[in-house]
A and B are shown apart, each in its own frame.
Chain A
Amino acid sequence: MEPTTAPTKPQFSPAAQAEIKRLLTHYPEDRSKSALLPILHIAQAEFGGWVSPEVQDLVAETLGIKPIEVYEVSSFYTQYNLKPVGKHVLEICRTGPCMLRGSDELTAHLERITGAKVGGTSPDGTFTLKEVECLAACGFAPIVQVREKYYEQLDTPEAVDAMLSELKSLVHRPILPWEETGLPNSLKNY
């Protein structure tokens, strides 16, 4: 759909609405606020990889809670992006075990070749670099997560190049969180 010039109130797609309806059945009727975190995940995937104040208002309206109840949650959890991001958000694990296997060098390398600084987006809007704390795959360090996919053992330029060319070849960002993105190698080959 072509973007319109006048700002319009965001709306969930029918697929997202169906998923939200399913999620709400998981909790007692008077406890629907429990669905807030999963719905924010859906909202972030649907509306360009971040949750704007308008999108958060939509989430509040969907759950019948006050907007402040959404804001205080979205600002607490690091996975919700509160400002616009690039097409691919590269979450680089910088915690101890990854550091021991070269995450500092990986971060510097990614800054050089993507043109993005940590916390920022590359000039062409393709990559946002974000440092995160522990992705729980320490035995396969260093690691980058892009949406639902883990790229592991990124300790050679070749491995990093392979990741970036795979990302660049994607026509669009995976849109919805329930789209399959495949398992990391460490989970395929235990």
Chain B
Amino acid sequence: MGRKLLTEHINVEGIDTFEVYRKHGGYRSVEKALKTMTPEEVVEEVKKSGLRGRGGAGFPTGMKWSFLAKPEGVPRYLVCNADESEPGTFKDRQLMAKLPHLLIEGMITGSYALGARTSYIYIRGELLYVLRILEKAIAEAYAAGFLGENILGSGYSLDLHVHPGAGAYICGEETALLESLEGKRGNPRNKPPFPAVQGLYARPTVVNNVETIAAVPVIVNEGGDEYAKIGVGKSTGTKLISACGHLNKPGIYEIELGVPVEEFIYSDEYCGGIWKGRDLKAVVAGGSSVPILPKELILKTAAGENRLMTYESLSDGGFVTGTMLGSGGFIAMDETTCIVKNTWNFSRFYHHESCGQCSPCREGTGWLEKVLHRLEHGHGSMHDIDLIVSVAKQIEGNTICPLGEAAAWPVAAAVRHFRHEFEWHVTNPKEATMPGAAYRGAAVLA
């Protein structure tokens, strides 16, 4: 049983209230930081912890914080990215609804470290009921003197607000999120300038995921060095994994980074195996945008070792995997899954969610959806298979934001690992799913 750093008290009755949360050690990091540490010391602890952004990109959080421009007399902001919309990822919803004060505590401590006097939690519009839970908790924190003017007599003041989106996946991209927070369409901005220099209202801004900010209190309380002892190599600490698809026990699991993928899927402590006694076919390990991996490659590395739930182990091996831990959205598919249909579904998602600003993404995602629809419905040709790979290549790297890659990678990976299934759809146009369509990828390993 691994350590639970974020979710230890998640099942305590009333933990969403200030009183109960405080009784279980809540807000200690605010007291410690504001009374005994300088902002620079807090940043240093986060650096030492090795914490990496939990929203998907995995960029070192302490380093991101240290990039923040700090001109005198200019406001700067901490913005929490709670726009969780990556298919397969549903960890932040749970964390915010059950432990709203943990996020608020992280926001206060983080804002202090960054010198922000106003901070925002940008939450997706679908979660208005979670927004209300957060607003209630924020009001409690104000009443207890942990928000507002002169917090705990330290001289530090902070206002914290929750802001809803309105149904746009692209607003999870940090610059699109800032545009949306300014009351505009969620079109990503060109970078540079990065938000650390010109973010919200053109002021220096840090945007962090919910889970990243929720880890800050633990790091400040325990110390960065202690946090870094958990995990494997550069994958330190714990990670929330949201498991879904054809699993016996889908749900949210907090794991110490380094658990073998096989153990995560099959042990009773975690997902309890594949439903209906079926065999596993493939996994998308880090949210829909990361490349799909067939059973053989997700369980073992190319060298035949156990693949681990770490940033490195999942992405190790270059073209062999090319996948990522990402946001921790773990989608398992059983042996009956049609990979072509699944790929078409993901393409439809990215076409729908493309903001339309860049031509390769706006047009390319449409092409992918259209051709994949054709293949799935038995009207495709062998040429179409090469066509979607070609279109995916032309999107990748040619857009302002990473939505282009997110749309291209699943298609390229699906064809790479399951090309025979696409071909089967062409030669068997009236059949919906290739029977017993397992991975036959020895060639790609060579």
Contact = CB atoms under 8 A, between A and B. Distances in A.
Interface of A: 26, 28, 31, 33-38, 40-41, 63, 69, 72-73, 76-80, 94-97, 99-101, 132-141, 145, 148-149, 177-178, 180-183, 186-187, 190
A100 to B, nearest CB: 5
B167 A190 contact: no
24 contacts: A26-B159, A28-B201, A31-B182, A34-B163, A37-B165, A73-B184, A77-B125, A77-B166, A78-B166, A78-B168, A79-B126, A95-B87, A100-B342, A133-B85, A134-B87, A134-B349, A135-B126, A136-B124, A137-B90, A138-B90, A138-B331, A141-B244, A145-B126, A190-B11
A136 B96 CA distance: 13
B227 interface: no
Contacts of B98: 187, 190
Given A31-B182, A31-B201, A136-B85, 12 more contacts: A69-B183, A72-B185, A76-B168, A77-B167, A79-B166, A134-B86, A138-B89, A138-B244, A140-B250, A186-B94, A190-B94, A190-B252
A27 to B, nearest CB: 8
Given A31-B201, A137-B93, A96 B331 contact: yes
A41 B129 CA distance: 13
Contacts, number: 152
Nearest to B242: A139
A148 B86 CA distance: 20
Interface in B1-46: 10-11
Interface string B49-92: 00000000000000000000000000000000000111111101
Nearest to A134: B87
B295 interface: no
Contacts of A137: 90, 93
Interface residues of B, number: 61
B75 to A, nearest CB: 8
Nearest to B10: A190
Contacts of B129: 148-149, 181-183
Q: Which 9 A-B pairs have the closest CB atoms?
A: A77-B166, A36-B183, A79-B167, A139-B250, A33-B183, A138-B244, A78-B167, A26-B161, A76-B185
Nearest to A26: B161
Interface in B108-122: 120
A100 B169 contact: no
Given A97-B244, A177-B128, A183-B129, A133 B201 contact: no
B432 to A, nearest CB: 11
Nearest to A65: B183
Given A41-B164, A136-B89, A139-B252, A180 B132 contact: yes
Given A78-B167, A134-B349, A138-B89, A99 B185 contact: no
Interface in B365-416: none
B243 interface: yes
B126 A34 contact: no
B185 A139 contact: no
A31 to B, nearest CB: 6
B429 interface: no
Contacts of B341: 99
B208 interface: no
Contacts of B209: none
B245 A97 contact: yes
A40 B185 CA distance: 13
B97 interface: yes
B124 A139 contact: no
Nearest to B181: A34
B286 interface: no
B10 A37 contact: no
B182 A97 contact: no
Contacts of A36: 183
A26 B134 CA distance: 15
B353 interface: yes
Given A100-B337, A141-B244, A38 B349 contact: no
Contacts of A135: 126
A37 B186 CA distance: 11
Indicate the member of A100, A135, A149 with the most B CB atoms within 10 Å: A100
B157 interface: no
Given A37-B164, A180-B132, A97 B87 contact: yes
B246 interface: yes
Interface string B114-152: 000000100011111100100000000000000000000
Contact of A133 (B92, B159, B182, B353): B353
Nearest to B93: A136
A75 to B, nearest CB: 9
Interface in B321-371: 329, 331, 333, 337, 341-342, 345-346, 349, 352-353, 355
Contact of B125 (A41, A149, A190): A41
Indicate the member of A76, A79, A99, A145 with the most B CB atoms within 10 Å: A76
A134 B124 CA distance: 11
Contact of B246 (A38, A100, A140, A181): A100
A132 B166 contact: no
A183 B10 CA distance: 16
B180 interface: yes
A139 B251 contact: yes
